[in-house]
Structures are given as structure tokens and as C-alpha cells.
């Protein structure tokens, strides 16, 4: 057996990235960033609110968390629903208690189905982030560009109308993009995106239609990833978050702010036996006095303003 | 096929009408031993195979059979010690296969509810009449064996059809353990005017999840259950909560696990002033009598969009 000779040809073998979305950049050689009040670490919490229809679609893959068994999979549907009716209220209570702000990536269908939940979030001053229409509407390589544009526009339009917020952030369902996603996000007036997991700080991403800020989504500290996919204990989850926070505190010594991102999933961390771990973790971080609790939009804006000045 | 099962409406977990359990207890605590019979050679359901290997797939079969031969007796002894009656999720064919177990539970005034005929006969693909027959068979079988009229249901292997919930209502079931959206009971929407409720079954603290999904040790599982209880107790001061521990004797009844589980029952039942140690049917009866109508009215506020 022999492979075609093209398999040993390397079209993009040159300095920098093999695509043009962004340039290589060593995080430790970048211009320092300072957060308000000289705080060392911006604490960026995202709480994803997702609607999984009982009938999954036939896309190239199912979003993580989607139905598993033959129809009707009441088990999965209702355990996900638990997050939106019970778990999220536990998280809101923790945020209230500690005086923390958060960003809520939400499917637009959450806003239309559960307006009272949306109001609880916006009344507290949390940020609404666009997160697609629902968990069947994933974005993927090869999908029709106009279909994707329509999905993004519908989601953003609905969330802006229902929330009364500008809605400038985007997180794709399942964090999956097509080759056109960043371009379409810019066209829809979005300023930052939370899908790429390749940095600890924001950076500029190139779109054909302009520039968008990539926010540092930290999959490695995500509750669903650690507690469900990897099956780690709550104690180990907490230990790793606090270790990351300590490292950021050290790195931030020379007026060089860092971002600690925690992605929360109400049906995971909002379970009764887990919520105490979240309280303890966030309490320890808040007690340090080193954090600026902010939304993704606030972090992106301050970071952006210091890049050009 | 429906994208929303439409079995209940949105009802956020705050500002709900306050639930008080008898004696002003804060947590209604019930234990659900799944007493199951798995067949060695069941007919194949087109949508789900019972066993991965060709007949006879003895390892997973005997792994579960251990529960009836060994684990159940250990578990029952520990529950006796702390005065906890089981609400048994029963493969009703157990009444024919192992009446010794049924009699031992019945003598202790444990409750039985239906978990299908066998845990190797799935509901997928059944027509309405066939699914109804499962319920009628369950009612009759348990009544003949124990004198009890069953009031609850958990579909075998959690396999359902669009008709399941309506059929429970039609046959005067009081509660369903099939839906996992909440830590409090609540009314279900059915075609008749029954008062069928959704009973919190705490699926995520099932021993199967702990041991065979998350790979926890018995010690970790015991700690998890205590934390689950602590949180639901704290919230129960605002409005009564329900904690269920769903169990399988073939898992929790192993020699290396029963010890830590004993400590859990000791811990929970030790909160005498705060815990109503009860059965699912007693919770359902209390809820239907005192809170069902108020819940329906409160949920309706959200449907009109003025609940926030």
C-alpha cells in the first residue's frame, strides 16, 4: 500500500499558524493589562442555559448532553431541564450571596420558553450571551452559510429584544463553529466569542468582516468536563480551580492582569450535593481580595481599550 | 414525535408555595431499593438488546442476581436497624420468582411500586394496549402477592412511550418516578383529571451512577449522600424538599459497600426533628391532599407570563 504523494506535501509549512484567523503570540510577552482598582485577576463566570429538544436533529454530531436512548428519552430531557428550573436558582443564590457577576450564555429558546428565568438574570445585572437557538442548532463545517447566518441572526435578535441588553458575546452550541462563524458573528454585531480554548487571555481574531475578540474559554476547568466527562470528585474540581487562581495571582504581580474563567452548567454544579463545592470555591477566591468580578463584555471592553492606548 | 414532552410546565425553584411535611419536618426521606429480575434469555426488543454478548451472557446476569441472593438481605438488615421502610421499585415477576423476598419486605410494611414485569422487557415499541397491560399486570400481581394496591411507577430500565404518563393517570396511579426535573413533587399534565404527580427520585444519586458511571468508592458515595442531604435540609427550611436514595442491592449490598451506607442512614435518620422517614406513597398522599391544587395555581401564573 502507498499513500498519494500529496500526503507528504506541506502546503502551510511556514512561520506562524496554518490558518489566518489569528497570529501566533506568546502570552508572556504581551503588553500588560490592568483591571479596575488594580485587581490581579478578572473572575469571569459563565453559566450556560441550554434547551435540548426531546428529538435530536440529524446533524453531523449531537451536542454534549443531548439525548441518549431511543425516543422518548425522558431521562436525559428531564435531567437537563433540572438545570433550568432548579440548578440555576442555586447558582443565582450563590452569586447573590458573594456579590458576583456572571455571563449567561443562553439559547434564544430559553428566553422564549422561560421569560421569568431571563428576568431573574437581567434584574440582577448579569450579562446575556448569545448561545445559538437551541442545542439542535449546532454550527459545523460545511453547513450552508445562509442557514448559519439565519441561525445567528435569529438568536441574537431574539435575545436582544427579550433581554433589553445589547448582547455582544457569543458562545456556539457545543462550542462548534463552521469556517464562516467568526465572519458571521461580526456581521451580526457581536464583539466577542467564547469558543476557542487556546489562551488564558483575550486576543483579537480576524474575520473577513472585521475583528472579534476571542475570550479565553477554559474547558479544562469546566464543571461538565471535570465532574461528568472525566468523573473527577468535587474536591479535586475545587483544588484545580484554586490552583489555577494561585498561579494567576503570581503571574499578575507586575500589573499584568489575568482572567480566571469558570464555565458552569446548572444541571451539573447545581445538583444538591455539588453546590456547596461551588460556594466554597468561589468564597475562597472572593476572600482573596484579588479579584475583579466581571462579565465577558466588561472584560473584553477593558482589555480592548488597553490594546490601542 | 414531540420536541417537548409537555408533561409539566416551567416552574422555577424559588418563591413556590411553602410545603410542610407532617410534624413540620423539612425533608421527606425515602429509600427506593430496585428489586429487579433480569432474564437470562429474554426476547429481543427491536430498540434495545438486553445483553451485549451472545446467550448465555452470564457475567452481567449473575452480577445482578447477586442482589437477590446476597445484597438484598444485607441492605434490609441495615434498613431495619434505622427503621427505614423501603419503597420498592419492583420487577413484579419477582412475586413469582422469589416470593421469599416479597414476603420479607411486606412483613416489614414496605411499599411496592411497579418497575415493569422484568427489567429485560422494555416498553419501546409497545402500543397503548400493550403498555396498559403492563400496568394492569403489575397492579394485579402485587395485589395478589401482598394485598397492596400499587400507586407508583418507574418504567422498566427507564423505557417509555409518549403514552406512559397518561396511562398512569388512567389507572389511578398517584405518582411517577420517571421524570427527573425537580427536588420537589409537582403535578403532571395528563389527559384525564387525575392528580398524578411527579415524585423526585434523585436519579443522579442512584448507586448505579456513583459506582458504575462515576467510578466512585463506597466512601465517596456515602459522603455525596450526606452532602445531598445537608443541602436539601437547608433548603427544606424554606419549603419542604424530597430526598430519595435509589439503590440496587447488587451494588450497595456488596460486602465492601454496606458499611459506609450504614453510616449514611445513621446520619440522616439521626436528624430526628427535621426528617420525615417515609415512603413514596405517603409523600404522594400528603402532597395530593395538601399541596396539589396550590401548585397547579402557582404554576399557572408562569404560563400567563406574570410569574416573574
Predicted complex ipTM = 0.95
- Cα Rg of chain B, angstroms: 19
Nearest-angstrom CA–CA distance, B242 and B175: 14
Q: Which residues of A touch B159 (CB under 8 A)?
A: 69-70
pLDDT band (50, 70, 90) for residue A58:
confident
Q: How many CB atoms lie within 10 A of CB B23?
A: 10
Q: Which residues of B touch A275 (CB under 8 A)?
A: 231
The grid coordinates listed for A306 are 488597553
Q: For A268, which residue in chain B has the nearest alpha carbon?
A: B204
pLDDT on residue A255: 76
Nearest-angstrom CA–CA distance, A217 and B72: 47
Cross-chain Cβ contact A79/B216 below 8 Å: no
Taking alpha carbons only, the member of A75, A265, A68 closest to residue A171 is A265
pLDDT band (50, 70, 90) for residue B305:
low
Which of B148-163 are b and which e, b meaning 16 or more Cβ less than 10 Å from the residue's Cβ? Answer: bebbbbbbbbbbbbbb
Q: Which residues of A touch B204 (CB under 8 A)?
A: 79, 271
Cross-chain Cβ contact B10/A86 below 8 Å: no
Greater pLDDT, B176 or B307: B176
Nearest-angstrom CA–CA distance, A158 and A160: 6
The grid coordinates listed for B157 are 430500565
Question: What interhelical angle do B218-236 and A272-287 show, nearest 10?
Answer: 80
Average pLDDT of A109-116?
Answer: 97
Cβ contact B297:B11 at 8 Å:
no
Model pTM score: 0.96
Q: Give yes or no for residue B307 having a pLDDT over 60.
A: no
Q: Give yes or no for residue B306 having a pLDDT over 70.
A: no
Which DSSP state fits B48?
B
pLDDT on residue B304: 65
Nearest-angstrom CA–CA distance, A135 and A248: 33
Query: Average pLDDT, whole number, for chain A?
Result: 97
pLDDT in tens, A203-254: 999 999 999 999 999 999 999 999 999 999 999 999 999 999 999 999 998 7
Q: Give yes or no for residue B173 having a pLDDT over 70.
A: yes
Nearest-angstrom CA–CA distance, B156 and B178: 10
| A60, burial (CB in 10 Å: exposed 0-12, middle 13-18, buried 19+) | exposed
**Percentage of chain B modeled with pLDDT above 90:** 97
Average pLDDT of A42-60?
Answer: 95
- Between strands A41-47 and A192-193, the pairing is unpaired
pLDDT on residue A309: 57
Q: Chain B: nearest CA to A67, how far in angstroms?
A: 11
Cβ contact A224:A244 at 8 Å:
no
Q: What does the DSSP assignment read for A203-270?
A: EEEEETTEEEEEP---GGG-HIIIIIIS---HHHHHHHHHHHHHHHHHHTTTT--EEEEEEE-HHHHT
Compute φ and ψ for B228, nearest 5 degrees: -60, -45
Query: Average pLDDT, whole number, for chain B?
Result: 96
Interface of A with B (CB under 8 A): 53-55, 69-72, 74-75, 77-79, 81-82, 84-86, 89-90, 113-117, 119-120, 231, 233, 271-276
Beta bridge partners of A130: A106, A170
Nearest-angstrom CA–CA distance, B128 and B132: 6
Cross-chain Cβ contact B161/A72 below 8 Å: yes
Nearest to B10 among A74, A85, A271 (CB): A85
pLDDT in tens, B77-92: 999 999 999 999 999 9
Residue of A73, A74, A81 to mutate, interface with B, max B Cβ within 10 Å: A74
pLDDT band (50, 70, 90) for residue A201:
very high
Cβ contact A122:A163 at 8 Å:
yes
Nearest-angstrom CA–CA distance, B66 and A145: 56
pLDDT on residue A87: 98
Q: For A123, which residue in chain B has the nearest alpha carbon?
A: B308
Amino acid at each position: 500500500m502507498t499513500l498519494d504523494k500529496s500526503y507528504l506535501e506541506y502546503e502551510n509549512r511556514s512561520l506562524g499558524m496554518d490558518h489566518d484567523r489569528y497570529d501566533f503570540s506568546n502570552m508572556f510577552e504581551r503588553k500588560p493589562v490592568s483591571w479596575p482598582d488594580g485587581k490581579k485577576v478578572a473572575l469571569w463566570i459563565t453559566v450556560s442555559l441550554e434547551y435540548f429538544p426531546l428529538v435530536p436533529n440529524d446533524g453531523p454530531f449531537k451536542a454534549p448532553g443531548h439525548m441518549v436512548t431511543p425516543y422518548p428519552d425522558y431521562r436525559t430531557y428531564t435531567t437537563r431541564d433540572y438545570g433550568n428550573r432548579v440548578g440555576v436558582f442555586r447558582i443565582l443564590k450563590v452569586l447573590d450571596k458573594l456579590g458576583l457577576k456572571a455571563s449567561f450564555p443562553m439559547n434564544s429558546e430559553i428566553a422564549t420558553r422561560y421569560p421569568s428565568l431571563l428576568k431573574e438574570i437581567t434584574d440582577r445585572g448579569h450579562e446575556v450571551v448569545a448561545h445559538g437557538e437551541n442545542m439542535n442548532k449546532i454550527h459545523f463545517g460545511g453547513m450552508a452559510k445562509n442557514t448559519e447566518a439565519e441561525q445567528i441572526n435569529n438568536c441574537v435578535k431574539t435575545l436582544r429584544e427579550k433581554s433589553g441588553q445589547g448582547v455582544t458575546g457569543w458562545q456556539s452550541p457545543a462550542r462548534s463553529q463552521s469556517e464562516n462563524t467568526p465572519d458571521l458573528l461580526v456581521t451580526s454585531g457581536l464583539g466577542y466569542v467564547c469558543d476557542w480554548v487556546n489562551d488564558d487571555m483575550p486576543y483579537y481574531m480576524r474575520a473577513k468582516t472585521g475583528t472579534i475578540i476571542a475570550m479565553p474559554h477554559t474547558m479544562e476547568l469546566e464543571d461538565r468536563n471535570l465532574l461528568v466527562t472525566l468523573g473527577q470528585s468535587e474536591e479535586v474540581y475545587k483544588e484545580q480551580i484554586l490552583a489555577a487562581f494561585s498561579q494567576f495571582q503570581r503571574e499578575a504581580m507586575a500589573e499584568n492582569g489575568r482572567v480566571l474563567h469558570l464555565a458552569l452548567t446548572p444541571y451539573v454544579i447545581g445538583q444538591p450535593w455539588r453546590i456547596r463545592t461551588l460556594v466554597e470555591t468561589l468564597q475562597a477566591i472572593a476572600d482573596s481580595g484579588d479579584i475583579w468580578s466581571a462579565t465577558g463584555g466588561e472584560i473584553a471592553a477593558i482589555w480592548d481599550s488597553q490594546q490601542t492606548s | 414525535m414531540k420536541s417537548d414532552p409537555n408533561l409539566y410546565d416551567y416552574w422555577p425553584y424559588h418563591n413556590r408555595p411553602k410545603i410542610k411535611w407532617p410534624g413540620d419536618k423539612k425533608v421527606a426521606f425515602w429509600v427506593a431499593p430496585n428489586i429487579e429480575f433480569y432474564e437470562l434469555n429474554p426476547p429481543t426488543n427491536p430498540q434495545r438488546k438486553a445483553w451485549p454478548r451472545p446467550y448465555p451472557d452470564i457475567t452481567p446476569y449473575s452480577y445482578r442476581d447477586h442482589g437477590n441472593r446476597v445484597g438484598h438481605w444485607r441492605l434490609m438488615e441495615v434498613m431495619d436497624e434505622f427503621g427505614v421502610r423501603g419503597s420498592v421499585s419492583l420487577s413484579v415477576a419477582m412475586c413469582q420468582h422469589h416470593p421469599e423476598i416479597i414476603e420479607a419486605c411486606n412483613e416489614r410494611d414496605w411499599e411496592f411500586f411497579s418497575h415493569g414485569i422484568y427489567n429485560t422487557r422494555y416498553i419501546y415499541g409497545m402500543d397503548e394496549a400493550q403498555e396498559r397491560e403492563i400496568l394492569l399486570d403489575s397492579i394485579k400481581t402485587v395485589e395478589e402477592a401482598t394485598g397492596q394496591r400499587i400507586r407508583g411507577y418507574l418504567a422498566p430500565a427507564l423505557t417509555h412511550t409518549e403514552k406512559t404518563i397518561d396511562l398512569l393517570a388512567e389507572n389511578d396511579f398517584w405518582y411517577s418516578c420517571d421524570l427527573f426535573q425537580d427536588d420537589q413533587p409537582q403535578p403532571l399534565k395528563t389527559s384525564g383529571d387525575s392528580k398524578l404527580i411527579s415524585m423526585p427520585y434523585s436519579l443522579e444519586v442512584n448507586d448505579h451512577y456513583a459506582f458504575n458511571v462515576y467510578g466512585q468508592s463506597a466512601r465517596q458515595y456515602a459522603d455525596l449522600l450526606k452532602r445531598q442531604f445537608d443541602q436539601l435540609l437547608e433548603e427544606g427550611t424554606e419549603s419542604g424538599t424530597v430526598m430519595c436514595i435509589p439503590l440496587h442491592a447488587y451494588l450497595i449490598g456488596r460486602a465492601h459497600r454496606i458499611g459506609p451506607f450504614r453510616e449514611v442512614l445513621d446520619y440522616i435518620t439521626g436528624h430526628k426533628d427535621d426528617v420525615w422517614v417515609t415512603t413514596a406513597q405517603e409523600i404522594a398522599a400528603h402532597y395530593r391532599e395538601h399541596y396539589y391544587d396550590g401548585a397547579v395555581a402557582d404554576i399557572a401564573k408562569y404560563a400567563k407570563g406574570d410569574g416573574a
